Amino acid sequence: MMTGSDALLLGLVVLGGAVVVLLIALAVLLLRLREAGARLRDKEGEQQGVLDQLLENENRLRAIIESEPECVKLQAADGTVLEINPAGLRLVDAERPEDIIGKPIYSVVANEYQEIYRDNMRRVFAGEAVVYEFKSVTLKGRTCWMETHAVPLRDARGAIHALLGITRDITEHKWAEEQGRRHQTELARVARLSTMGEMATGLAHELNQPLAAIANYARGCIRRLRAGDIDGAALIEPLEEVCEQAERAGEILRHVRDFVRKSEPRMTAVDLNQVVRGVVKFTELEARQHETVVTLQLAPGQPRVWADSIMVEQVICNLVRNAVEAMAETHSLRREIVIRTLPHGEDMVEVEVVDTGPGIDGAVIDQVFDQFFTTKQEGVGMGLSISRSIVESHGGRIRAESRAGGGATFRFTLQRIPTLLRRDERRHSFHS
Amino acid sequence: MSDATVFIVDDDQAVARSLRWLIETVRLQVETFASAQDFLDGYDPSKPGCLVLDVRMPGMSGLELQERLAARRSYHVPIIFITGHGDVQMAVRAVQAGAFDFVEKPFNDQDLLDRIQRAIAHDAGQRGREEQRSQLRALFAALTPREREVLDLVVEGLSNKAVANALGLSAKTVEVHRAKVMEKMHARSISDLVKLAMQNQAA
């Protein structure tokens, strides 16, 4: 049994023990706190060091980028310019950074390159590194050619948050390239002309001979008759010569016709879509120069036709060039060409070339395929006439239409080579 | 002028025959040749007239024939070239090389005949001068070396006495030579003699 004093003592001991425990606990806590505080202080210092380092690095990078002679810029996914260096400002003719920073980059991309530019942006934000060329119209309206190397810029977690682009002005290079190409075209034209010229000269010389003989005989007859010193019988021989020489001239012309006939179309099985793509390739430059967008809507599969591919190329080329020129000459606002290949009846394929130009005057629409008919200032009116004879020699037809809302449509048909298709393919072909 | 001959060289026989038919209306002789070589082989340089020559011919061309004739270094008839369409450069070359004229096919008959007549007149003039020159050469050739010496000094304006001194002869002898020279040269005066000597120098 515990006495009252015992209980008091015990109580005191217990109490004292509890205080000690408490004190110890407090001390431990304090110690831990101090430790933590010290550790915290250490960490702050460390962070500050890292921050300082980062700042230094950034400043160094910034200095390099600022003095970089080529345009360096950061863009957001929607095309907003986030940052751009002074070279970039100069490239787009911006006087102050705020003229372009925070604005969409598309404001300095030429209309016909907007789509191409957007495509490339999409590819970069999908993780690709790309190089692309485009035409730019600067803030002051200056047109120039640019080449951009663009890579995705990722944050710490690896998410792409911006596009880093390095762009340079390639206008001069582009100009030289175009000069070269134009020179090539010119050479080809001159070569063709000189071949034609040579043929014409040869033909002229050939025909001159019998014509000169005929003229000499005839003049000789007239002179003798005028002088009255010849009887009719003496004229028979020279007149027979005249006939002979006229026949000789006819023979020469027959040779020419045979020669021309020899260059008849060389027919093979041709993938019409491929021909169209080929034409687009070599009219691309012209179309771009005239700020014209060419869109293809090709029949699925490979619509094959029996044709001379060079000649068909020539027809499509003619139609595309005409469209480009018609739109350029009349300063159409929207310049667009759509080339379609589509089925036409059971056994034909149709090629359609649609433009957004001024269309064709209803009064002359029936004459556009006539020889020497032209609305162009420097045209000779042979293009469509030749096109028609090519199409017709292939067993097809060519037509011109002018749409109510402006724009012309030229379409021609070619005979399709029937292909053995499986049932399901047949259902899909040409109808998707 | 009707003794003049028009020589035609053209590989195209129909053209050559038709030219003959035309040219004979102005009463000129015509000889045709089917090639440049035929002409070189068969042509008589003593016949007056002119040559109507086609620029383009297989084998020897008209221009080559012209060169060959020039290389002979003897007088030949004037040449009228006939050129085809677009051969003007060739024609210019021919004229620079001494051709008389050229006509471009197709030509006007009167134009060709006029040119032929002019060429024939030119030929007659040349032949006349050539005749004079050869007569002159014959006159001078008839003089003895001594007579030639006397003549040369006399036309320089020297007196008989000065000539005698220069040649170491007596004045009497010079007098005799001089009379002989006048006779041989058919000269009536010193001025005639001077004229002949100058013509001879020019020839």
**Fold designation for A67-169:** Beta-Lactamase (3.30.450)
On whether residue B137 sits in a domain, the answer given is no
| Pairwise CA distance, residues A160 & A333, whole Å | 37
| Pairwise CA distance, residues A341 & A277, whole Å | 11
Contact by Cβ (8 Å): B79, B115: no
DSSP letter, residue A109? B
Coil vs helix vs strand at A264: coil
pLDDT over threshold 90, residue A218: yes
User: Token pair for residue A93?
Assistant: 């003719």
| Pairwise CA distance, residues B195 & B198, whole Å | 5
CA atoms in the 13 A half-sphere facing the CB of B8: 23
Q: A98 vs A72, A79, A83, A106, B111, CA distance in Å?
A: 16, 15, 10, 15, 83
Cis peptide before B106 (omega within 30 of 0): yes
Strand partners, A169: A146
Contact by Cβ (8 Å): B104, B95: no
User: Token pair for residue A388?
Assistant: 């028609």
**pLDDT confidence tier of residue A431, bands split at 50, 70 and 90:** very low
Mean pLDDT of chain A, nearest integer: 80
Contact by Cβ (8 Å): B83, B102: yes
Digits of tens for pLDDT over chain B (203 positions)?
Answer: 458 999 999 988 999 999 999 999 999 999 999 999 999 999 999 999 999 999 888 788 899 999 999 988 888 899 999 987 667 788 888 888 899 999 988 788 999 999 999 999 999 999 998 888 888 888 888 889 999 899 888 888 888 889 899 889 898 999 999 999 989 988 888 888 888 888 887 76
pLDDT, tens only, A5-19:
565 555 555 555 555
Give B-chain residues touching A216 at CB under 8 angstroms: 15, 18-19, 21-22, 109
Q: A9 vs A12, A17, A20, A184, CA distance in Å?
A: 5, 12, 16, 117
On whether residue B92 sits in a domain, the answer given is yes
If asked whether residues B165 and B88 sit together in one domain, one would say no
If asked whether residues B164 and B188 sit together in one domain, one would say yes
Neighbours of A243 (CB within 10 A): 11
User: Token pair for residue A398?
Assistant: 């060519």
Which domain-ending residue is among B84, B105, B128? B128
The answer to whether the Cβ–Cβ distance between A204 and B86 falls below 8 Å is: yes
pLDDT over threshold 70, residue A363: yes
Phi, psi of A143 (to 5 degrees): -95, 130
Nearest CB to B109: which of A210, A219, A238? A219
User: Token pair for residue A321?
Assistant: 């060039």
Q: What CATH number does residue B173 fall under?
A: 1.10.10.10
What pLDDT sits at residue A69? 83
Give B-chain residues touching A227 at CB under 8 angstroms: 25
The answer to whether the Cβ–Cβ distance between B14 and A208 falls below 8 Å is: no
Separation of CA A346 from chain center? 33
Nearest CB to A212: which of B24, B25, B106? B106
Q: Which of B11, B22, B26, B52 to mutate to test the interface with A (most CBs of A within 10 A)?
A: B22
If asked whether residues B124 and B149 sit together in one domain, one would say no
Angle of the B145-155 helix axis to the B171-184 helix axis, nearest 10: 90
Strand partners, A209: none
Residue A213 makes CB contacts below 8 A (sequence gap 6+) with A241, A242, A245, B12, B14, B15, B17, B18
Helix or strand (DSSP H, E) at A276: helix A272-289
Per-residue pLDDT, averaged over A28-53, amounts to 71
Phi, psi of A80 (to 5 degrees): -70, 135
What pLDDT sits at residue A429? 43
Contact by Cβ (8 Å): B151, B192: no
pLDDT, tens only, A87-129:
999 999 999 989 999 999 999 999 888 988 999 999 999 998 9
CATH code of A175-262, in short, is: 1.10.287.130
If asked whether residues B83 and B120 sit together in one domain, one would say yes
Nearest CB to A205: which of B19, B24, B84? B84
On whether residue B168 sits in a domain, the answer given is yes
Strand partners, A83: A74
Coil vs helix vs strand at A189: helix
The answer to whether the Cβ–Cβ distance between A209 and B15 falls below 8 Å is: yes
Distance of residue B89 Cα from the nearest chain A Cα, in angstroms: 14
Q: Domain segments of chain A: what residues?
A: 67-169, 175-262, 268-428
If asked whether residues B121 and B183 sit together in one domain, one would say no
Q: What CATH number does residue B84 fall under?
A: 3.40.50.2300
On whether residue B194 sits in a domain, the answer given is yes
Give A-chain residues touching B105 at CB under 8 angstroms: 208, 212
The answer to whether the Cβ–Cβ distance between B25 and A223 falls below 8 Å is: yes
What pLDDT sits at residue A423? 42
Helix or strand (DSSP H, E) at A284: helix A272-289
What pLDDT sits at residue B85? 63
Q: Which of B12, B25, B55, B85 to mutate to test the interface with A (most CBs of A within 10 A)?
A: B25
| Pairwise CA distance, residues B51 & B9, whole Å | 8
Coil vs helix vs strand at A152: strand
Per-residue pLDDT, averaged over A35-60, amounts to 77
Distance of residue A189 Cα from the nearest chain B Cα, in angstroms: 21
Phi, psi of A374 (to 5 degrees): -150, 150
Phi, psi of B147 (to 5 degrees): -60, -40
Distance of residue B23 Cα from the nearest chain A Cα, in angstroms: 8
Mean pLDDT of chain B, nearest integer: 89
Give B-chain residues touching A211 at CB under 8 angstroms: 106
Our separate counts of H helices and E strands in chain B read 9, 5
The answer to whether the Cβ–Cβ distance between A205 and B56 falls below 8 Å is: yes
If asked whether residues B20 and B117 sit together in one domain, one would say yes
Neighbours of B155 (CB within 10 A): 18
Nearest CB to A219: which of B12, B22, B105? B22
ipTM above 0.85, yes or no: no
If asked whether residues B116 and B18 sit together in one domain, one would say yes
Give A-chain residues touching B22 at CB under 8 angstroms: 216-217, 219-220, 223
What pLDDT sits at residue A428? 45
Contacts 24+ apart (CB under 8 A), B176-184: B177/B146, B177/B147, B177/B150, B178/B150, B178/B154, B180/B147, B181/B143, B181/B147, B181/B150, B181/B151, B181/B154, B184/B139, B184/B142, B184/B143, B184/B147
The answer to whether the Cβ–Cβ distance between A245 and B106 falls below 8 Å is: no
Q: Which residues of B touch A (CB under 8 A)?
A: 12, 14-15, 17-19, 21-22, 24-25, 56, 84-86, 105-107, 109
If asked whether residues B59 and B155 sit together in one domain, one would say no
Q: Beginning with the edge strand found earlier in the chain, give each strand of the sheet holding A160-169 in spatial order.
A: A81-84, A71-75, A160-169, A143-154, A130-137
**pLDDT confidence tier of residue A329, bands split at 50, 70 and 90:** confident
The answer to whether the Cβ–Cβ distance between A224 and B86 falls below 8 Å is: no
User: Token pair for residue A424?
Assistant: 């399901």
Strands B49-54 and B79-83: parallel
Q: Name which of A140, A135, A173, A183 is nearest A289 in CA terms.
A: A135
Architecture of domain A268-428: 2-Layer Sandwich (3.30)
Give B-chain residues touching A219 at CB under 8 angstroms: 22, 109
Q: Name which of A385, A275, A290 is nearest A337 in CA terms.
A: A290
Q: Which of A194, A196, A198, A209 to mutate to test the interface with B (most CBs of B within 10 A)?
A: A209
What pLDDT sits at residue A413? 94
Contact by Cβ (8 Å): A413, A350: yes
Give A-chain residues touching B10 at CB under 8 angstroms: none
Neighbours of A173 (CB within 10 A): 13
Structural domains in chain B (count): 2
pLDDT, tens only, A264-318:
567 888 899 999 988 887 777 778 878 888 999 998 888 889 888 878 888 898 8
If asked whether residues B81 and B178 sit together in one domain, one would say no
Phi, psi of A338 (to 5 degrees): -115, 125
What pLDDT sits at residue B1? 44
**Structural domain for B158, as ranges:** 142-202
If asked whether residues B117 and B157 sit together in one domain, one would say no
Residue B171 makes CB contacts below 8 A (sequence gap 6+) with B160, B161, B164
Coil vs helix vs strand at A87: helix
Percent of chain A topping pLDDT 70: 77
Distance of residue A223 Cα from the nearest chain B Cα, in angstroms: 7
User: Token pair for residue A295?
Assistant: 């869109």
pTM of the complete model: 0.44
User: Token pair for residue A242?
Assistant: 């005249």
If asked whether residues B92 and B169 sit together in one domain, one would say no
- Whether chain B has a CB inside 8 Å of the CB on A220: the answer is yes
The answer to whether the Cβ–Cβ distance between B109 and A238 falls below 8 Å is: no
Higher pLDDT among residues A120 and A393, named by residue: A120
Nearest CA in chain A to B84: A205
